Amino acid sequence: NKQISLAKRPQGLPNLEDFNFKEGVFPTPVSGEVVVKTLYLSVDPYMRGRMQDAKSYVAPYQLNEVITGGVIGEVVESRSTEFQEGDVVIGMLGWQEYSVASAAELRRIDPNLAPISTHLGVLGMPGLTAYLGLLEIGKPKEGETVVVSGAAGAVGSIVGQIAKLHGARVVGIAGTEEKIDYLLNELGFDAAVNYKTTTNLRHDLKDACPNGVDVYFDNVGGEVSDAVYPLLNTFARIPQCGAISSYNKEGKDVGPRIQSYLIKSSALVQGFVVSNYASQFGEAARQLGKWLAEGNLKYEETIVEGFENIPNAFLGLFEGSNLGKMLVKVAEP
Ligand code: NDP
């Protein structure tokens, strides 16, 4: 049973030496437990925070313990009355080929509804983050301008599409030409700006937002956000979802120098963790599933194959090597 643990706490950008591959024992379930074979495993930016020994809304990973995260797997042995062999399940499990879990830690997913991997992306935590952050905090209205950073990623790509479904003008910010092309030509964004190749991001954003910015759904923070703030309209809303540009920063970060723009625009900024809205997950997932089935929501997945490539897939998040949700395919069902 191959496993991956945290070998040391990363300094700055993580690298392969921060991870340790080991061979664990094959798990034996006791009554009420099942053995789950890992099929798909999610790598997410928030995991970078858990690699630090710092207090946050999730506990830090412990050194030399198997790293955990979202996993979709197949029940291969059951000592629970709630699950049978062959059931496809989702839960917070380890970066390992086989996990043991109690029935309460798992939720069954219907493989006939949508491809099972979507429960880690558009129909899972990132999709819920997009839906609830945008609609509960951003509250886009018809004709308003919504700017989203990290626009071609798991959360951002869904934010932009939901904003379009609400009649907004949508502008995305992303880091490769392939992503810009995807936003404009596949997802129907009204404009998109490549923050890595532009010589003047603030200028390009101003061109892309002739009526200013009413909602800024921020996934990245840093200099990208510095360029958005001057465009805030009166009573703009900012769902502060992520700040990936700072996750690998060593030492003190500078900025953002947002205050004068907040005062001028009376804008509302609200940070959030998707679990704040746990009571609305059911309703949000139903609406996302409906849009998906109707063809009103598209999604992309970047699927890295093979257990040994899990750390590389995680590191790829910080290089922007994913379009849509970054997943690792560990085994066939
Ligand atoms: P993504 O699928 O968007 O993957 C990360 C992307 O971030 C990369 O593809 C890359 O795209 C971009 N990126 C990486 N480094 C930088 C940088 N220095 N500056 C700007 N962009 C960068 O990840 P998710 O959709 O899963 O998550 C997006 C954000 O939302 C993250 O900040 C995450 O922490 C946060 N989040 C927050 C939640 C909450 O409850 N508040 C829940 C889920 C996610 P590019 O090529 O465009 O640079």
- Segment 113-143, tens digit of pLDDT: 999 999 999 999 999 999 999 999 999 999 9
Res. 203: pLDDT tops 80: yes
DSSP string, 266-282: T-EEEE--GGGGGGGHH
Q: Which residue is closest in CA terms to ligand 1's atom 5?
A: 317
Q: What is the mean pLDDT of residues 160-164?
A: 98
User: What's the half-sphere exposure (Cβ side, CA atoms, 13 Å) at 205?
Assistant: 26
What is the per-residue pLDDT for 257?
82
**Interval between CA 320 and ligand 1 midpoint (Å):** 8
Across 95-144, the runs of DSSP E, i.e. the strands, are 98-102, 107-108
Res. 256: pLDDT tops 80: no
What is the per-residue pLDDT for 253?
78
Residue with tokens 């626009």: 151
Q: For the chain, first and last CA: distance in Å?
A: 17
What's the chain's average pLDDT?
97
Q: Out of 42, 187, 219, give the residue to mutate to test ligand 1, the one with the largest number of ligand atoms within 8 Å of its CB.
A: 219
C-alpha torsion 180→184→189→190, nearest 10: 100
Locate the domains of the chain by residue range.
2-121+300-329, 125-275
Q: What is the mean pLDDT of residues 287-316?
A: 98
CA 65 – CA 42 distance, rounded (Å): 18
Phi, psi of 147 (to 5 degrees): -105, 135
CA 204 – CA 225 distance, rounded (Å): 13
At residue 252, the 3 state secondary structure works out as coil
**Interval between CA 83 and ligand 1 midpoint (Å):** 34
**Interval between CA 2 and ligand 1 midpoint (Å):** 28
Nearest to 27 by CA among 44, 6, 3: 3
In the chain, % of residues over pLDDT 90: 95
Res. 255: pLDDT tops 80: no
CA 192 – CA 177 distance, rounded (Å): 10
Q: Which are the contacts of 271, defined by CB distance < 8 A and separation ≥ 6? A: 240
C-alpha torsion 313→220→131→166, nearest 10: -130
Using a 6 Å CB cutoff, which residues line ligand 1?
Answer: 44-46, 126, 129, 150, 152-156, 174-176, 179, 219-220, 222, 224, 241-245, 272-274, 317-318, 320, 322, 326
Q: What is the side-by-side order of every strand in the sheet holding 145-149? A: 191-194, 169-174, 145-149, 213-217, 232-240, 268-271
pTM: 0.97
At residue 222, the 3 state secondary structure works out as helix
Domain 125-275 in the same topology as domain 2-121+300-329: no
C-alpha torsion 102→105→111→117, nearest 10: -120
- CATH class of this structure's domain 2-121+300-329: alpha beta
Q: Which residue is closest in CA terms to ligand 1's atom 33?
A: 242
In the chain, % of residues over pLDDT 70: 100
Predicted ipTM?
A: 0.99
- CATH class of this structure's domain 125-275: alpha beta
Q: How far is CA 235 from the centre of its chain?
A: 27
Q: What is the mean pLDDT of residues 252-267?
A: 88
CA 2 – CA 24 distance, rounded (Å): 6
**For residue 119, which amino acid is it?**
H
Question: Is residue 58 very low, low, confident or very high in pLDDT (cuts 50, 70, 90)?
Answer: confident
User: What's the half-sphere exposure (Cβ side, CA atoms, 13 Å) at 201?
Assistant: 20
What tokens does 246 get?
A: 């700072």
CA 277 – CA 284 distance, rounded (Å): 10
Q: Out of 155, 159, 162, 275, give the residue to mutate to test ligand 1, the one with the largest number of ligand atoms within 8 Å of its CB.
A: 155
Ligand 1 atom with the shortest distance to the CA of 275 = 40
DSSP string, 158-194: HHHHHHHHTT-EEEEEESSHHHHHIIIIIS--SEEEE
Q: Return the H-helix or E-strand segment holding 49.
A: helix 46-50
Tell me the pLDDT tens digit for each residue of 80-106. Answer: 999 999 999 999 999 999 999 999 999
Cβ distance 229 to 206 under 8 Å?
A: no
Residues 280, 283, 287, 288: is their CA dihedral positive or negative? positive
